[in-house]
Amino acid sequence: MATRIVVLGAGFGGLELTTLLSERFGDALDLVLIDKNDAFVFGFSKLDVMFGRQLPDTVRHPYRQISKPGVRLVQAEVRAIDPRARRVETSAGTFEADILIVALGADIDQAATPGLVEGGHEFYSVPGAFALRDVLPRFERGAAVIGIMGKSFKCPPAPSEAALLLHDYLTTRGRRAETSITLVMPFGTPIPPSPDTSTAILAAFAERGIRFIRDTLVTGVDGARKVVTLSDGSELPCDLLLGVPVHRVPQVVVDSGLCDGPYHWVPVNKQTLATAFPGVYAVGDVNGVGTPKAGVFAEGSAQVVADAITAQLRGGDGPAPYTGRGSCYIEFGEGHVGRVDVDFLSGPKPTGTFQGQSESFVEEKRQFGASRVRKWFGA
Ligand SMILES: Cc1cc2nc3c(=O)[nH]c(=O)nc-3n(C[C@H](O)[C@H](O)[C@H](O)COP(=O)(O)OP(=O)(O)OC[C@H]3O[C@@H](n4cnc5c(N)ncnc54)[C@H](O)[C@@H]3O)c2cc1C
């Protein structure tokens, strides 16, 4: 019987892993890919949709387009995971695995910040970002705050991008003079591993009159008084909150015993991404390997697991140690995109090299997305 590999979550990590294994083994494997949604959406597409640069339908990549040797896609909710038995209960039945991959990402927890649901907006979920497309046109004057509510959050450049794109959006609509933009961030600089990138972003903020409040979290929202509370106890006027909610481990993963609680990402072997349970790996945002939560790192960790599984099934050397390297594109506004190349695990401390910002990176970023769609969806 073919080895059965069950992949939980068809995001950046799950799609990359399934694609690589299908390319290498084809029908010789029984690959089951499970996701509760019917389509994949890139993280950066959330910004494109909320600022009216793309239509919601054009950024959804339906899973039904996937047709790969050995791969069966199941649209179902994962309800329980038994990592010891490598058994998964879903809304579409029970699946037993020889090798189990948990790639369920990071969940956001809006309820963790008092007043957020009633008095603010978030742009980190697909529904939240898409809903903002209809909210932003009504923001004509007052204070906009882009506020981060927890220290560990996906795509650290995204809040800075949101501030710069909001500036463009309001400028185009002739509303910039009547509005202010403040970014509240728990770091000392926008991109801590890359001083050059941070300097460029802070210069862009200064040119555009965007205020940057460092080393601070948004801890509460009072929609009636139109203020947000900050972690230093002060308040900030806020007519429009674009929030980055607290991130947490999905509850089904917490319940499985793969981690120690909602704020403890799944511990893994840094070299192989293996969990403490034999035959169970954790890929992408859900793990605590020490890289930022971003698609490029989810993809990189999937490549390591694909190599580990290949070595296990075919014999041969195991994977090279996971380096935590990747390139992130950053929207600077005014049609410019920057790129930072980061390396989180191969040296004594994380490093990042800023490659500059220009119109040429716009095309490179477009290619980044298009090549993944071609590879994962065969389109
Ligand atoms: C605004 C924004 C901009 C971003 N920009 C970038 C960028 O430019 N570059 C970049 O590299 N990264 C970017 N990211 C980050 C990137 O989107 C994530 O880090 C990446 O998607 C993580 O991949 P993953 O496979 O770990 O998880 P995900 O891609 O989140 O996939 C997890 C999957 O699991 C499924 N799932 C969860 N729970 C269940 C369940 N119980 N049952 C069934 N299915 C379930 C979900 O539906 C989802 O499809 C951005 C994120 C945001 C929010």
What CATH number has the domain bearing residue 126?
3.50.50.60
Q: Give domain status of residue 360, yes or no.
A: no
- pLDDT at position 358, please? 86
| Structural domain span for residue 58 | 3-106+249-314
Q: What is the mean pLDDT of each run of 10 residues along the chain (379 residues)?
A: 96 98 97 98 98 97 96 98 98 98 98 97 98 98 98 97 98 98 98 95 98 98 98 98 98 98 96 95 96 96 95 89 91 95 89 90 96 91
Same domain, 218 and 288: no
> For a substitution probing ligand 1, which of 35, 63, 88, 340 has the most ligand atoms within 8 Å of its CB?
35
Same domain, 126 and 239: yes
With a 6 A CB cut-off, is 13 part of the ligand 1 pocket? Answer: yes
Could you tell me whether strands 107-109 and 246-248 are parallel, antiparallel, or unpaired per DSSP bridges?
antiparallel
Same domain, 260 and 294: yes
Of 246, 262, 287, which one is at a domain's C-terminal end? Answer: 246
Same domain, 98 and 209: no
Q: Give domain status of residue 180, yes or no.
A: yes
- pLDDT at position 379, please? 53
Please tell me whether the overall predicted TM-score, pTM, comes out greater than 0.85 for this model.
yes
Number of domains present in the structure of the chain = 2
Same domain, 78 and 35: yes
CB 295 within 8 A of CB 282: no
> For a substitution probing ligand 1, which of 6, 19, 36, 371 has the most ligand atoms within 8 Å of its CB?
36
Q: Give domain status of residue 89, yes or no.
A: yes
Same domain, 51 and 150: no
